[in-house]
């Protein structure tokens, strides 16, 4: 009888141990499942951010290339103007507010300079204004580039307008 009691006691202890183990296993699996779901969500967010950053990089490259049509000596063909308009729309989709506002300031400056330039009458006054206006446009252009750099991860940039060099290389017609 003593052996029977000990066997029953042993069965109960074994069963209790199995229940404890089962409960612990269920909790571990629940935590594991939760963390796996969170990890997948994080992976998805990282992948989305990488795709968005790649898209912004492309748009930033295209807009900075086409913005040069507004700098004296830039190619302002119909095609390049259309590309600028398309890229400007993409900026509104992909860029943060700082970049959009910087580009909008650039365009507002161009509109303001254009209307003021039309009102200039004397040739020397007009040329002086064009020179000053181009400096302002170039400053606004560089500000846009800096805003784009900051958005792409260079938020500690120390670059400013004085670091950017505008180079206008004209082809010599006799060198062909």
The pLDDT tens digits of the residues spanning 99-118 come to 999 999 988 888 887 766 55
Query: Does residue 166 or residue 90 have the better pLDDT?
Result: 90
C-beta of residue 80 within 8 angstroms of C-beta of residue 62 = no
Q: What is the pLDDT of residues 134-159, one digit of tens each?
A: 788 888 989 999 999 999 988 888 98
Residues 49-77 have a mean pLDDT of: 83
Tallying the residues shown for the chain, one arrives at 176
Gap between the terminal Cα atoms of the chain: 114
Domain layout of the chain by residue ranges? 2-169
97 pLDDT higher than 90: yes
Structure confidence at residue 13 as a pLDDT band (50, 70, 90): confident
Q: Which two tokens stand for residue 89?
A: 């729309």
Task: Measure the CA–CA gap between 105 and 143, rounded to whole angstroms.
Answer: 10
46 pLDDT higher than 90: yes
Alpha-helical regions (H) of 68-96: 78-94
124 pLDDT higher than 70: no
Q: So what's the pLDDT on residue 118?
A: 56
């Amino acid at each position: 009888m003593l052996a029977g009691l000990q066997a029953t006691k042993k069965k109960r202890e074994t069963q209790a141990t199995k229940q404890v183990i089962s409960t612990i296993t269920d909790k571990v699996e629940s935590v594991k499942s939760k963390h796996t779901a969170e990890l997948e969500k994080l992976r998805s967010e990282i992948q989305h951010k990488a795709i968005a950053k790649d898209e912004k990089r492309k748009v930033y490259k295209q807009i900075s290339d086409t913005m040069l049509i507004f700098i004296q000596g830039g190619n302002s063909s119909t095609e390049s103007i259309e590309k600028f308009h398309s890229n400007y729309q993409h900026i509104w989709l992909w860029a943060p507010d700082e970049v959009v506002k910087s580009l909008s300031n650039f365009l507002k400056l161009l509109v303001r300079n254009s209307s003021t330039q039309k009102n200039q009458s004397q040739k020397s006054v007009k040329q002086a204004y064009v020179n000053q206006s181009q400096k302002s446009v170039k400053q606004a252009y560089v500000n846009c580039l800096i805003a784009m750099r900051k958005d792409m991860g260079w938020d500690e940039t120390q670059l400013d307008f004085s670091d950017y060099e505008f180079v206008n290389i004209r082809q010599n017609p006799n060198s062909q």
